[in-house]
Structure 1
């Protein structure tokens, strides 16, 4: 059981690295601007049910806040600051989506080879460390877009 957890932790870190590398490779592609406007959850009520605000609070008030220092406002932000912040959020979001997809492929392989417990643990880690951060980035990006439209 401990090996399943260690495996999930290692694969999660690998997924982040793959997300960064692939994200860097595609960020100048024409389709990148299209995927920068992804929004999986259009309803704020669903965001609340999923606990995205609580998840955001956990990120801001735990050691996870040190992972991406570019996604932070120090003072009252100008329009340019908000645009830059949004770009950083898009970059982080797409990296997490790439990582999420990578781990889903590994989970499918594990399910195919009947490694059900390992697949389940990896799925939980993938949701917590890739899906939720991507959804949180989308939620915050939507808030910034609302401010920028005003």
Structure 2
């Protein structure tokens, strides 16, 4: 039973990752993406971000193996404005990928709760 839940969870992670990337790729050339999603900010308050632990997550991403997961977000040597713009675009794309993947997973969570299928 535990193996079933574990394999379902791992499968859902990888499938949601792919769904997020595909959805972002489809929307990337639309006005909705360029005008709304690329400048979207859920929480604008720095204080609330700090309370939620964003600084801790930032430290974990910068100082653990997570820093190797997106090689496009590296700054090497002297950088110019175009490098920063490219990094910002890559970060925005990655975050929007995460957003769509999260929404995809939430569909499964809602279905499982509705069907009363708990662990």
Whether TM exceeds 0.5 here: the answer is yes
Give the corresponding residue for 1:17.
18
Return closer, same or farther for 1:45/1:75 CA change in 2, 3 Å cut-off. Answer: farther
Give the corresponding residue for 2:95.
93
Q: Deviations over 1:33-92 (max 9, x none)?
A: 121001001111111111112112212222222221112222343211111111001110
Q: TM-score, normalised by structure 1?
A: 0.72
Q: Partners in 1 of 2:8 and 2:56 — Cα distance?
A: 27
Q: TM-score, normalised by structure 2?
A: 0.89
CA RMSD of aligned residues (A): 1.5
Give the corresponding residue for 1:124.
none
Give the corresponding residue for 1:108.
110
Return closer, same or farther for 1:79/1:23 CA change in 2, 3 Å cut-off. Answer: same
Give the corresponding residue for 1:4.
5
The alpha-carbon deviation at position 2 of structure 1 amounts to 4.4
Gaps of 5+ in 1: 118-150
Return closer, same or farther for 1:31/1:45 CA change in 2, 3 Å cut-off. Answer: same
Pick the structure with greater CA Rg.
Answer: 2
User: How many residue pairs align between the two structures?
Assistant: 117
Give the corresponding residue for 1:143.
none
Gaps of 5+ in 2: none
Q: Partners in 2 of 1:22 and 1:99 — Cα distance?
A: 9
Q: Partners in 2 of 1:5 and 1:42 — Cα distance?
A: 35
